């Protein structure tokens, strides 16, 4: 039976869109079931509306108590029969109830080769700036299982991207993002096929 995917995204949602497109194209045997964003104005929610996927703005504004927010996120995912949670540029920490409800079944994409260039505060453009500042010759993309620590859970897949001497954070971000879109879809396909086993 097709997996039901629940997305958590804070901003543009281009990774989410790549996964939705792959579902629509039949490349993934999965159904985009629900989109949750902590940002009511996010591109991710706009994309959800365009795709007629149920969407919810859930944040510290809608639920000032962290525990209530965590519970509401879980209830929303469960109400849509989600069995795999996809973080796609989600800038908030996943709460303990959500982690306990979907053990090993929350995955994230990071625009760098973890365990380097990860952790709290190391996201988006900051990753690319750090890679350039270190003079690294390669960077890449990591898909990993989410655990209570930022960018820390078991790594499922990585793909390298060469750093060019002419690169700026913007040019690097653009090339890395294109690889993210491919690697996320490819990794989810391998999870669905059973080639990649998620820890339980």
Q: Which of 30, 99, 107, 177 binds ligand GRF (CB under 6 A)?
A: 177
The nearer residue to ligand GRF, 33 or 109, going by C-beta atoms, is 109
Q: Which of 85, 109, 157, 163 binds ligand GRF (CB under 6 A)?
A: 109
Nearest approach, Cβ of 128 to ligand GRF (angstroms)? 9
* Known catalytic membership, residue 110: yes
- For the segment 131-150, give every residue that binds ligand GRF (CB under 6 A): none
Question: Measured between alpha carbons, how far apart are the two ends of the chain, in Å?
Answer: 19
From the number of C-beta atoms within 10 Å of its C-beta (0-12, 13-18, 19+), residue 108 rates as buried
Look at residues 45, 40, 127 and name the one whose alpha carbon lies nearest to residue 88.
Answer: 45
What is the helix (H) or strand (E) element at residue 31, kind and residue range? strand 30-37
Give every CB contact of residue 166 below 8 A, 6+ residues apart in sequence. none
Does the footprint of ligand GRF cover residue 11 (CB under 6 A)? yes
Q: Which of 32, 95, 111, 153 binds ligand GRF (CB under 6 A)?
A: 111
Catalytic pick among 110, 128, 144, 181: 110
Distance of CA 39 to the CA centre of its chain: 15
Site residues for ligand GRF per CB under 6 A:
9, 11-15, 88-89, 109-111, 123-124, 177, 180
Catalogue the active-site residues: 110
């Amino acid at each position: 039976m097709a997996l039901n995917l629940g997305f958590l995204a804070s901003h543009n949602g281009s990774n989410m869109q790549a996964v939705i497109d792959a579902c629509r194209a039949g490349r993934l045997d999965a159904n985009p079931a629900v989109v949750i964003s902590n940002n009511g104005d996010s591109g991710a929610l706009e994309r959800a509306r365009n795709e007629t996927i149920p969407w919810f703005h859930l944040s510290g504004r809608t639920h000032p108590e962290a525990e209530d927010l965590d519970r509401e996120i879980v209830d929303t995912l469960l109400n849509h029969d989600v069995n795999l949670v996809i973080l796609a540029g989600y800038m908030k920490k996943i709460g303990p109830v959500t982690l306990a409800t979907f053990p090993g079944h929350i995955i994230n994409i990071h625009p760098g080769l973890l365990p380097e260039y990860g952790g709290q505060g190391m996201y988006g453009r900051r990753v690319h700036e750090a890679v350039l500042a270190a003079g690294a010759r390669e960077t890449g993309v990591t898909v990993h299982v989410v655990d209570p620590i930022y960018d820390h859970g078991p790594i499922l897949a990585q793909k390298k991207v060469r750093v060019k001497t002419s690169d700026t954070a913007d040019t690097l971000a653009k090339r890395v993002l294109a690889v993210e879109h491919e690697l996320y879809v490819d990794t989810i396909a391998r999870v669905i096929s059973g080639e990649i086993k998620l820890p339980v």
